Structure 1
Amino acid sequence: MNWLERWQAPRSSTWLLLRPGHGQAAWNWLHLADGRREAGEGAPPSPGGARVALILPGNHCSHSQLAAPPGLKRDEWPLLLEERLLQPAESIRCGCISRQGNQLELVSVDQALLSQWLSQCADWGLSVERCWAEFQLLADTPAGTALCWQRSPDLLLLKGVTELSRPHWLAWPTLLGSNLPAPWPSLQSETFGGAWPARLAALELLPSLFDLRPARQMRLCLPSAPGQWRLIAACVLLGLLWSGLWLTQQWRQSEVYKAQVVALTGPAASPRQAAQLLKRQRQAEEDRQLRLRQIEQLQTAMQQWLQAQPAWHISASSFDGLRWTLQLRGDQPPEAATWEAIAQRVGVPVAVAGDEDQLQLVFDLGAAS
């Protein structure tokens, strides 16, 4: 076998998967070799030439799909998740499993936990090459479907894709009951159980969340035949041409992304500032959508009350973006607890003023956001 054949030869497809738990006794491992599977708990066996992968437990990692401003560096990804996870950016380790345009699909884990798990692997004398989230072990499903993995009696892991082709992950403690949140009830699901999935995704093709391999000295066997030198020169030239085309395309695409971010946020002094502006805009949009839903709920509740009280009607209504003000006219004013009950149902405070036949209600939606 010459040097080119050795370089093209496929790597070993044997794997040792390690999933940490609370303490050494709770670790699970799965050894895959020559189509055979061997699983166990506690300290793993010697890998025997197998590639070692650390599997992040589904209930200890977070999955997000977010827009990233152009120029945002890998070590700045946690800034996008700081408010969502309610953790300082420096305590989060982020990995990217897919990127479509400026949309990043990120998986995050607590840095202290990750360090603790890697330290345990080092104590066992294992060199971890790959790091995957537990959900990545599940095969991809078509839009509108989901996989439900009953990994243990107290934990259900769900991976699915909505009709809009948006991926979703969920680690659901069974003590919360069987009423899953949206969008899971609308997805056609396949349920299975066991410590490990019976059918795994193609491990060789899974993107690793973090590059955990130690630096190695690459040894190159230099060719001696003139034809091999010409082949190397041709490969280098093609690589340089491809790199130039790729850099040109990336530069053009970066300019497009920058223009899109400026259109949304205005000029920004740095990628970090642009990311913070995007987060504020996203939060403002989420607050606006929340207030619209609260308005709809209040309108429904007031309509039901007015149908039951024909002697009363709304004489005026206004909304300034934070407060919804109603002027009511009628006979026999209801008890103040009526308005408190309606407001508590939506989760907002209410102020009541007026006399017996004319009332003013002010629902403060800004106080709830």
Structure 2
Amino acid sequence: MSESLHTVTALPTERPAGCPFGPPAELLEARRHGPISRYTHPGGKPGWLITGDELVRAVLTDARFSSRKELLNVVDFEIPPAPPGEFLLTDDPQHSRYRKPLIGKFTARRMRLLTERIEQITADCLDAMERTGPPADLVTAFAKPIPTIVICELLGVPYEDRDAFQEQIDKFMNGETSDEDLIAAYTATQTYVAELVAAKRAHPTDDVLSELTDSDLTDEELQGIGLILLAAGFDTTANMLSLGTYALLQHPDQLAALRADPALADRAVEELMRYLTVAKSFMRTALVDVELGGQTIEAGTTVVLSYHTANHDPERFTDPHVLDLNRQEGGHLGFGHGPHLCLGQQLARIEMRVAFTALLDRFPTLRLAVPAEQVALRPESADVYGVKSLPVTWDV
């Protein structure tokens, strides 16, 4: 196997014209050569690229691979540990310390209790769109407001602060902000969350962040957790709603199937999560030498896990590059896998199911207001993939 081992010298920075939904061609080519490829990180450090579903899952459930930020071996300088509370970049026991108090607050049952409120928020956005009339930017009118309001209400962010919060989060997630503005946006958000935690300590309200102040988590840890929840709870779902709508509009047969059978919504959400995989990749670092896919991953080596390519793995999914809302194969990696499986997956599922169904029901003639090639996409450098704006129109 090693003689024909594929080598990837750089991850792609953009997708080919006319292919906004599937993995970039370089990643698909790597997967065709096998589920594991040699890779050189941008800082010049040797690593590995994992593109196969089975191997990605293997890494995500193997304690010999670490999520710790300071262990990432991708540049020539020392990387500091993740700030307190940022559980995505930690291992046990620290990871469990952060995650355990959150598990009961994001259960499927508790999230289902939010359904009526999510339906109302969605209806309010659609009412505003209808009053204003076509055309509309679906990103600003629909995809961003719904998850923003939901996650802010869940965490107890005051209503008047939501627009400013959304703007700052977007700056450090969109992949296009200058380093100076990125630091400023991140710092401003950190400061805001710190003030929010202090306010919840002093005067608890009926929200998740207030409930967490009863735990043994420190203020610094609560700040980190709050920042992660706000950013992830807003940006990933917002981009799934906008990019998902774009994908449906570009697949009229699938759009028609969903309109004809709203009961298909749950399956549609899972297929769109697989097909689009807006959270494209993550990294892990080997703590010891590990045999993986016929190769030896040496201790200290960082591997890139391409969730998107794994979700298009032909050994896992039949016709993986086809959007099929009736697909019977489940088990995608859109929400991750293993100990770091997305905490907010049930909330995201409900938001998408409600939002897609309501949007298509309210506007049966919804369509793009510009040629598809003019839809502005986020760059591959963005942490979460999506569209910058989605101009749509409908018959009145």
* TM-score normalised to structure 2 length: 0.22
Structure with more contact order per residue of length (Cα contacts < 8 Å, sep ≥ 6): 2
Which one has a larger percent helix, Structure 1 or Structure 2? Answer: 2
Point out the structure with max Rg over C-alpha. Answer: 1
Per the normalisation by structure 1, the TM-score is 0.24
Higher strand proportion: 1
